[in-house]
């Protein structure tokens, strides 16, 4: 026979606890709401942080979260008070809420603990529920500290051109060798198309959803370091145990929602900042990134907070490791390495005359290279496995360590570079007519900018506008507006064969006797190659074969399209002095038959981290004439 207590429990489970709890505590719920109103908790910054509210143009609130299940009140997205009071009511219930389908106390555990502390919940009148799923997740993370991770820029993926940031949860008792097993907190877009054009358009206009995930660090390293050859900077943050707990509780809550993903604003780096502010509410990091967010800028912002970063570590990519090991080889050893890479067998004669430790170094490099190619999926796996077995057999027979190699960062950490926005004030002349120039560029880096903290040979310029006032003509004109101007110059390498390339879209002016400022739309793209030298410090000689299309009312007909190319030299003359010399020739067989020849000598001297002086001497042929238009310009540039 069943006891009455058992029958009661079964009825409780069948009917659900929600009405019982709510019915038993209506007065206490109202008490809590009254106290919350008296304390103004719905306007408290911490509550606004937890729900990701920001103020609107008209003074109201709206949350960046886009999934309705993140809000417990029907108008919770725009009403902080309604969301808080509904959240309190849900804490009395075991109704499953959110996409994770848990009781509110567990699904929104950061809200629960903050309100519990702020209102002093009476556990007899509002019993605390056991959140087993959260406890298991939290225990698995085993967090000791948090590191900010910055994989450097990757030019072959539009969403990674500016770099990426994520958090790594450093487990207790991990060592330098085992920290790769830690978990990460990563925010990324859920990409729903393979079409490159749609990818760019939707990424810019908010066509993708973004969500947080907890991914093992070794998978991130495999992607960024092994497959994409991106060096990684790791910043261990000085957060207390309480702050780490708050961050992880909120990260748990964010599994209940998505956000609209924008490449240039609310991207991977932006969405990490509120997590850090929830951990330490005295930080105000996200406020500075409402209009655009560049990962290097967020790293710079975090690193600028006194005492927040306690340790920085450089993790070279597999490609960097192979290059720097290969740089230690003699010409003869490089020849042997090439034969090892090409061959399917290895005879002892191949290593004749080489010390055993140098043989070990060669075999280590060759094995690393097979792993790099495996990650890149460039070869047949069966073939690469046979090669790896052969290399390991040879290597194990040597029984010596290869010489130790200390890896040097290819460039300085991102926070040591100049800021990404730039304004320039210049004085110049064009064919005897003096002018002043105002140049404004929201982002990010051009070939002549200082490379410290940036990828050398990479240019990404967005919305770069140059406005001039010509003194003799007494007129202001838009000289050029580059919507996007991207160049990737990759030196040729026997092991890493990547092309150089460029693409740009802009408004330009063309010297012509047909009009004062013959303005036209220009679309240009090209591919080519680059060679690296070290006669002075570092020189890069490059050539690019280009396709070019122009549209403007002064052309007859209104357009022209053609081919041509650019040859250039980019040289570091000194630590703070850089030169860029290039010439471009284009011929247009379509539309108005014409050609275009321009030459430029540019130099930049860095005065301070965010201050530089630039000199340009430009020469360009006028439309369908033999005459050239010459101009010189000196510009003082400030980065901010």
User: Is there a cis peptide before residue 80, judged by omega within 30 degrees of 0?
Assistant: no
Could you give the CA distance from residue 351 to residue 464 in angstroms, rounded to a whole number? 55
Beta-carbon contacts of residue 568 (< 8 Å; ≥ 6 apart)? 541, 542, 543, 580, 581, 582, 583
Could you give the CA distance from residue 397 to residue 605 in angstroms, rounded to a whole number? 54
Could you give the CA distance from residue 512 to residue 554 in angstroms, rounded to a whole number? 9
pLDDT value of position 3: 44
pLDDT value of position 19: 44
Place of tokens 């006194």: 306
Could you give the CA distance from residue 188 to residue 547 in angstroms, rounded to a whole number? 34
Name 504's bridge partners.
485, 524
pLDDT value of position 11: 40
At 87, phi and psi to the nearest 5?
-60, -45
- Which residues does the chain have with pLDDT short of 50? 1-20, 23
pLDDT value of position 50: 97
Place of tokens 């990757």: 154
Place of tokens 């029984």: 399
For every residue of 128-172, DSSP letters joined together read: PPP-HHHHHHHHHH-EEEEEEEEE---TTSGGGTT---EEEEEET
pLDDT value of position 602: 98
pLDDT value of position 256: 82
Q: Residue-wise over 8-19: b if at least 16 C-beta within 10 A, else e?
A: eeeeeeeeebee
Could you give the CA distance from residue 495 to residue 149 in angstroms, rounded to a whole number? 28
For every residue of 6-28, DSSP letters joined together read: HHHHHHHHHH-HHHHHHHH-HHH
User: Is there a cis peptide before residue 444, judged by omega within 30 degrees of 0?
Assistant: yes
Could you give the CA distance from residue 300 to residue 277 in angstroms, rounded to a whole number? 16
Give the 3-state secondary structure of residue 409.
Answer: coil
Token couple for 550: 């122009």
Token couple for 164: 């990426």
pTM here is 0.87
């Amino acid at each position: 026979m069943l006891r009455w207590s058992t029958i009661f429990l079964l009825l409780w489970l069948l009917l659900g606890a929600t009405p019982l709890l709510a019915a038993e505590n209506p007065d206490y719920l109202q008490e809590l709401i009254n106290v919350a109103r008296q304390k103004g908790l719905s306007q408290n910054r911490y509550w606004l942080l937890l729900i990701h509210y920001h103020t609107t143009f008209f003074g109201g609130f709206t949350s960046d979260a886009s999934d309705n299940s993140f809000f417990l009140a029907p108008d919770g997205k725009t009403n902080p008070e309604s969301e808080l009071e509904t959240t309190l009511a849900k804490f009395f219930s075991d109704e499953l809420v959110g996409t994770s389908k848990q009781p509110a106390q567990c699904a929104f555990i950061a809200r629960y603990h903050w309100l519990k502390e702020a209102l002093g919940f009476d556990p007899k009148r509002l019993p605390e529920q056991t959140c087993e799923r959260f406890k298991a997740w939290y225990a698995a993370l085993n967090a000791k500290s948090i590191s900010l991770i910055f994989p450097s820029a990757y030019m072959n993926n539009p969403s990674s051109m500016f770099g990426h940031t994520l958090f790594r949860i450093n487990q207790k008792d991990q060592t330098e060798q085992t920290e790769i097993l830690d978990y990460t907190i990563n925010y990324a877009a859920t990409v729903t198309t393979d079409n490159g054009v749609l990818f760019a358009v939707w990424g810019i206009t908010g066509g993708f959803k973004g969500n947080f995930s907890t991914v093992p660090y070794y998978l991130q390293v495999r992607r960024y370091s092994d497959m994409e050859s991106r060096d990684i900077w790791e910043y261990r943050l000085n957060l207390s145990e309480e702050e780490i707990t708050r961050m992880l509780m909120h990260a748990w809550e964010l599994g209940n929602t998505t956000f609209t993903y924008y490449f240039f604003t609310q991207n991977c780096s932006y969405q990490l900042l509120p997590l850090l502010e929830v951990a330490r509410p005295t930080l105000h990091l996200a406020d500075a990134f409402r209009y655009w967010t560049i990962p290097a800028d967020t790293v710079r912002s975090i690193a600028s907070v006194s005492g927040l970063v306690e340790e920085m570590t450089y993790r070279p990519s597999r490609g960097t490791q192979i290059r720097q090991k290969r740089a230690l080889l003699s010409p003869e050893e490089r020849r042997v390495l090439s034969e090892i890479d090409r061959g399917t067998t290895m005879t002892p004669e191949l290593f004749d005359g080489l010390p055993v430790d140098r043989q070990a170094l060669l075999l280590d490099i060759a094995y690393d290279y097979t792993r790099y190619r495996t990650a890149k999926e460039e070869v047949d796996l069966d073939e690469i496995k046979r090669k790896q077995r052969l290399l390991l057999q040879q290597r194990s027979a040597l029984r010596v360590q290869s010489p130790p190699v200390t890896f040097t960062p290819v460039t300085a950490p991102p926070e040591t570079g100049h800021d990404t926005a730039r304004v320039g004030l210049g004085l110049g002349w064009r064919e005897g007519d003096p002018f002043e120039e105002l140049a404004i560029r929201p982002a990010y880096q051009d070939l002549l900018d200082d490379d410290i903290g940036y990828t050398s040979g990479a240019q990404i310029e967005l919305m770069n506008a140059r406005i001039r006032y010509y003194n003799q003509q007494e007129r202001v004109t838009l000289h050029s507006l580059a919507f996007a101007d991207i160049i990737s110059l990759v030196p040729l390498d026997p092991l890493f064969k990547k092309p150089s390339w460029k693409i740009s879209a802009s408004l330009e002016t063309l010297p012509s006797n047909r009009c004062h400022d013959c303005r036209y739309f220009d679309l240009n793209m090209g591919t080519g190659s680059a060679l690296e030298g070290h006669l002075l410090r570092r020189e890069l000689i490059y050539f690019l074969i280009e396709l070019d299309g122009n549209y403007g009312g002064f052309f007859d007909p209104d357009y022209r399209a053609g081919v041509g190319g650019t040859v250039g030299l980019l040289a570091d003359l000194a630590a703070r002095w850089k030169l860029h010399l290039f010439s471009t020739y284009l011929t247009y067989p379509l539309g108005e038959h014409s050609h275009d020849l321009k030459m430029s000598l540019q130099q930049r001297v860095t005065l301070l981290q965010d201050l530089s002086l630039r000199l340009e001497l430009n020469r360009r042929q006028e439309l369908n004439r033999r005459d050239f238009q010459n101009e010189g310009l000196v510009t003082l540039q400030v980065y901010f």
